[in-house]
Amino acid sequence: MKNIKPIKKLLIANRGEIACRIIKTARLLGISTVAVYSDADANALHVKMADEAVRLGPAPSRESYLKGELIIAAAIKLGVDAIHPGYGFLSENAQFCRLCEQHNIIFVGPPVAAIEAMGSKSAAKQIMQEAGVPLVPGYHGEDQSPQLLKKHADDMGYPVLLKAAAGGGGKGMRQVSHSDEFFDALDAAKREAMSGFGDDIMLVEKYLTQPRHVEIQVFCDSHGEGVYLFERDCSVQRRHQKVIEEAPAPGMTEELRQQMGEAALTAAQAIGYVGAGTVEFLLEPDGQFFFMEMNTRLQVEHPVTEMITGQDLVEWQLTVATGKPLPLQQAQLAIQGHAFEARIYAEDPNNQFLPSTGLLSRLIPPEENEHIRVDTGVLEGDEVSPFYDPMIAKLIVWDQNREKALSKLAKALSVYQVDGVTTNIDFLYNLATHSAFKQAQLTTHFIDLHEDELFVYDVHQHELLVPMVVTYLILQRQSGNTGSDSRNSPWQANNHWRMNEQHVEGLSLSIQNQLVEVSVEYLTSRHSGAQRFNITTDKGNYLCFGILANGTLEVNINGHSYQLNLQVHSELTSLFTTQCAIQCKLNTPDLGLSDADDHHAGFAAPMNGTIVAQLVETEQLVEKGQTLMVMEAMKMEHAIKAPSSGKVKEFYFSPGDLVDGGAILLDFEQHEADE
């Protein structure tokens, strides 16, 4: 192959943390960088970090980051040698790769033919079948008749998985458990696929009931050589999107690792692959594995591979893109220690993981060192907008073994301070401290299997949670740090004010959105400078005292001492115990100011977004749970459903309309029989 010119100037056709990540490596290599940005990202961190920056257009990605011709024009004007697409956006767009080639610009990724081969999941599976790579049973044909797709699903037996042929990242994907759900799920998956990829071709696969998601990092150069940099376990997912990834995969034998690695290289070489790629497999408990898809780009979770191999994969990408051979051969690669990556998202796990938008009023990540790495594209004061993926950062930890690395992950999550938006940090902590996760009992259904514990639906499952929370809330109130402006109210008084009793009071708490009532007796004696309380719950009596300082709570309950990290938000506080993280607040009395009869309740837009479909007519009778309207934001659909049988009196928005979070979407009339 002919030699390619060296890269002196690199344009990053992306945004956020991956753009910042690429800039860091380019800077170390002495490569000048060019950032691109939309109007929403004019002051973004990747723009500040780059040597130059070019505006692409308005905030929506289809008018900015997906405008390949604008990016190429900017690259030509600025004399760019290469373009790195990152992941998402144009990273797997064959036409964009072709445009780079036509203008003699290096595309830091695979050749056009490889992207096209893997760009269609159905075509990719045909290639893999011919190459001898094991496949999950399914239908990957061209005939897209809904009746034919359903027939294949019925023949395979349920559950099945619908997947967009051009999809990725969990978009255009639906699990179907029963035959009578098939057409509704197909419509939703096709609609989401068309919105996300401009292509609604679907494939149907047998849904494996106990699989692990294990993927192999491969690297190939233009000289016909390839290596695999071992595996990552990405089994813990929500909405088919990864939550926590780790490397190496727990329980992996050397024999199975070699089998999967060689199968992954076979897949890559079958399409003439060059660059960084990931071959994803479903791994069954008996050791059988099946090809799922190949991602022809750098993965979000690539840092865990970097941590266990000591290699910079972006540097490898830039090296291979210039026509040079791979930096190392297979025999020179080795696994060192264990690494985890947790994706910090602006989303609400307690509300179906809906994205959260707002200003990052506080953003203090854990301190980075040889064990802890934080990849991010935002700073304190930045805004999480509705236009892009709501990931705030990736928290990566490493240690000598899985147990030590997992302990470091839990500790780092407990001190990761974010306010202004709702995040998944508490949920990630509950995952990292869950006994089944500690024991590596991993499947792609992990979250569903352990839902009750991960979301702490029963606050009494850990007996000491309530006295810990009560002690904290009393100390918080006494310190005056209540997050409220009502410090002169008797309800916020720190002197145990009561009309008829000086030293005993009843408190109403909210713990994980559950109402908890307790009685507190304030004891006049002091111990080690800490106030003592006798707390009575429906589970028993607890003698408690504590000290609140520097983001930690030291509490003694019935003679046993505990130390908890905490994060104070505008309305709630997250307490991190050894078992789980919980959110709590001290309730104030209901003075009758709320409108309990608001017939619009439940029909407010959960976020800023776009209406994509109205699925019923006004005055049409509908059943409880029937979807009335669908809106989309941050690459995710949200269904607005009927809370009971009834009918829609009026829709306030139409498909295509932009709506603000909190806007009332429709007027619903409940059926008389349900009232």
pLDDT in tens, 58-87: 999 999 999 999 999 999 999 999 999 999
Q: Which residues contact 625 (CB under 8 A, 6 or more apart)?
A: 641, 642
pLDDT (average), residues 563-570:
91
Please tell me the predicted confidence (pLDDT) of residue 594. 41
Reading the block at residue 524, the tokens are 């006049």
Please tell me the predicted confidence (pLDDT) of residue 673. 60
pLDDT (average), residues 143-154:
95
Reading the block at residue 187, the tokens are 């419509």
What confidence tier does 524 reach under pLDDT thresholds 50, 70, 90?
A: low
Please tell me the predicted confidence (pLDDT) of residue 220. 98
Reading the block at residue 61, the tokens are 């990605």
Please tell me the predicted confidence (pLDDT) of residue 530. 61
Complete domains list, the chain, with CATH: 9-108 (3.40.50.20), 137-206 (3.30.1490.20), 212-454 (3.30.470.20), 463-586 (3.30.700), 609-674 (2.40.50.100)
Please tell me the predicted confidence (pLDDT) of residue 501. 44
In percent, how much of the chain has pLDDT > 70? 92
Q: Does 214 have pLDDT greater than 90? A: yes
Q: Does 671 have pLDDT greater than 90? A: no
What confidence tier does 366 reach under pLDDT thresholds 50, 70, 90?
A: very high
Q: Give me the half-sphere count of Cα atoms (radius 13 Å) on the Cβ side of residue 146.
A: 13
Q: Does 483 have pLDDT greater than 50? A: no
Cα separation of the two ends of the chain: 75
Strands 646-651 and 202-206: unpaired
Q: Which amino acid is at 579?
A: Q
- pTM over cut 0.85: no
Please tell me the predicted confidence (pLDDT) of residue 496. 46
The 10s digit of each residue's pLDDT in 4-43 is 789 999 999 999 999 999 999 999 999 999 999 999 999 9
Q: Given 297, 343, 477, 532, which residue is catalytic?
A: 297
pLDDT (average), residues 422-442:
97
Q: Does 560 have pLDDT greater than 60? A: yes
What confidence tier does 393 reach under pLDDT thresholds 50, 70, 90?
A: very high
Please tell me the predicted confidence (pLDDT) of residue 507. 93
Q: For the chain, give the number of residues.
A: 675
pLDDT (average), residues 273-297:
94
In percent, how much of the chain has pLDDT > 90? 72
Q: Which residues contact 499 (CB under 8 A, 6 or more apart)?
A: none
Annotation says 297 is catalytic: yes
The 10s digit of each residue's pLDDT in 489-520 is 333 444 444 444 447 899 999 999 899 999 99
Reading the block at residue 351, the tokens are 């509300």
Distance between CA 69 and CA 237 in Å, rounded? Answer: 35
Q: Are the beta carbons of 336 and 235 closer than 8 angstroms?
A: no
Q: Does 675 have pLDDT greater than 70? A: no
Distance between CA 500 and CA 491 in Å, rounded? Answer: 14
Q: Does 334 have pLDDT greater than 90? A: yes
pLDDT (average), residues 420-440:
97
The 10s digit of each residue's pLDDT in 98-137 is 999 999 999 999 999 999 999 877 788 889 989 999 988 8
Q: Residue 586: which of 672, 662, 667, 493 has the closest Cα?
A: 493
Distance between CA 361 and CA 382 in Å, rounded? Answer: 8
Q: Are the beta carbons of 276 and 260 closer than 8 angstroms?
A: no
What confidence tier does 529 reach under pLDDT thresholds 50, 70, 90?
A: low
- DSSP letter at 604 equals B
Mean model confidence pLDDT for the chain? 90
Q: Residue 665: which of 650, 674, 649, 652 has the closest Cα?
A: 652
Please tell me the predicted confidence (pLDDT) of residue 282. 94
Torsion of CA 355, 358, 361, 366, to 10 degrees: 20
pLDDT (average), residues 135-149:
90
Distance between CA 418 and CA 345 in Å, rounded? Answer: 10
Of 633 and 17, the one with more pLDDT: 17
CA angle 663-664-668, nearest 5°?
Answer: 170
- DSSP letter at 664 equals B
What confidence tier does 593 reach under pLDDT thresholds 50, 70, 90?
A: very low
Of 258-262, 263-267, 398-402, 535-539, give the lowest mean pLDDT range. Answer: 535-539
pLDDT (average), residues 653-664:
86
Q: Which amino acid is at 390?
A: P
Reading the block at residue 354, the tokens are 């809906």
Q: Does 345 have pLDDT greater than 70? A: yes
Residue 330 region by backbone torsions, left for phi larger than 0, else alpha for psi between -120 and 50, else beta: alpha
What confidence tier does 169 reach under pLDDT thresholds 50, 70, 90?
A: low
pLDDT (average), residues 452-467:
91
